[in-house]
């Protein structure tokens, strides 16, 4: 098959996403752990039957494993027949976002409502991300008043397209520009900037309100 993409990397990603060992995935996919290890570490593609079993074991699709459809929006399939929408309490919301990853910040920018992706970490209960000092986001998130921060929104979700399930968490709070004298308190978070480069301005969102929803079957 042509256009397989980085099959090994995608297998590892989904296996770790599910918290499964190589042996567990191999057993479900009816293949040896050694062969699965080979697929993870080498540029090779198994036969069609093995691909479908592997996709089923990893709760994804063959198209996704082969890197297809990566430039298309997620969630293009139909909704499940009888979805249930569950409200998440704050403790569950915090548990879901605790590992860090990629979220979105939303605020009123100079050109209108703005939503941007950011790499984030949760550090001492706050959302921490980095941007460029003097850049557009830096300027948009300043009130011009000493000690007054702009309240913004931070959102992160996880969508399981195979099972048509997922969750979303929304955090609202002030975006605090971390000054040099406070850097020691956030540099330990280990957060890296989404866009790379010299983005040394740390912004901390102290949650004032955290809400979440989960959609799943009955």
In the chain, which ranges are continuous DSSP H helix? 7-18, 22-28, 33-41, 48-57, 62-65, 90-97, 136-140
Pair 174, 95: CB distance under 8 Å? no
Query: 115 is written with which tokens?
Result: 């939503």
- Give residue-wise pLDDT tens across range 181-212: 888 878 888 888 877 777 889 999 999 999 99
CATH number for domain 7-65, candidates 1.10.260.40, 1.10.150.130, 1.25.40.20, 3.40.50.150: 1.10.260.40
Q: What is the average pLDDT across 78-100?
A: 87
Query: Closest Cα partner for 171 from 80, 82, 104?
Result: 104
Q: What is the pLDDT of residue 156?
A: 95
> In angstroms, rounded to a whole number, what is the distance separating the alpha carbons of residues 158 and 160?
7
Find the distance separating the first CA and the last CA of the chain, reported in whole Å.
Answer: 38
- Give residue-wise pLDDT tens across range 8-38: 888 998 898 888 999 999 999 999 999 999 9
Q: Is the pLDDT of residue 81 over 90?
A: no
Which CATH number applies to 84-216?
A: 2.30.110.10
> In angstroms, rounded to a whole number, what is the distance separating the alpha carbons of residues 42 and 152?
44
Q: What is the pLDDT of residue 75?
A: 62
Q: Is the pLDDT of residue 119 over 90?
A: yes
- Give residue-wise pLDDT tens across range 36-77: 999 998 878 888 899 999 999 998 888 888 877 666 666 665
From the CB of residue 161, how many other CB atoms can be counted at a distance below 10 Å? 16
* 12-16, long-range: CB < 8 A, 24+ apart: 12/40, 14/58, 14/59, 14/60, 14/65, 15/58
The answer to whether the 7-65 and 84-216 domains have the same CATH topology is: no
Domain boundaries, given as residue ranges, for the chain: 7-65, 84-216
């Amino acid at each position: 098959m042509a256009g397989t993409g980085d099959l090994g990397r995608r297998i590892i990603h989904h296996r770790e996403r599910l918290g499964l060992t190589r042996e567990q995935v191999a057993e479900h996919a009816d293949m040896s752990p050694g062969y699965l290890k080979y697929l993870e570490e080498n540029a090779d593609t198994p036969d069609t039957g093995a691909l479908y079993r592997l996709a089923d074991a990893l709760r994804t699709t063959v198209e996704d494993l082969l890197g297809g459809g990566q430039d298309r929006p997620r969630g293009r399939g139909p909704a499940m027949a009888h979805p249930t929408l569950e409200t998440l309490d704050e403790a569950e919301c915090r548990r879901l976002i605790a590992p860090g990853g990629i979220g979105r910040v939303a605020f009123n920018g100079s050109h209108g409502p703005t939503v941007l992706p950011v790499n984030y970490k949760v550090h001492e209960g706050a959302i921490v991300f980095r941007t460029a000092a003097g850049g557009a986001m830096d300027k948009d998130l300043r009130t011009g008043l000493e000690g007054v921060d702009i309240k913004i929104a931070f959102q992160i979700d996880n969508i399981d397209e195979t099972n048509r399930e997922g969750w979303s968490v929304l955090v609202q709070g002030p975006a605090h520009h971390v000054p040099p004298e406070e850097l020691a308190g956030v540099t330990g978070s280990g957060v890296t900037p989404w866009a790379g480069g010299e983005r040394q301005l740390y912004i901390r969102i102290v949650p004032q309100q955290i809400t979440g929803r989960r959609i799943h079957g009955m």
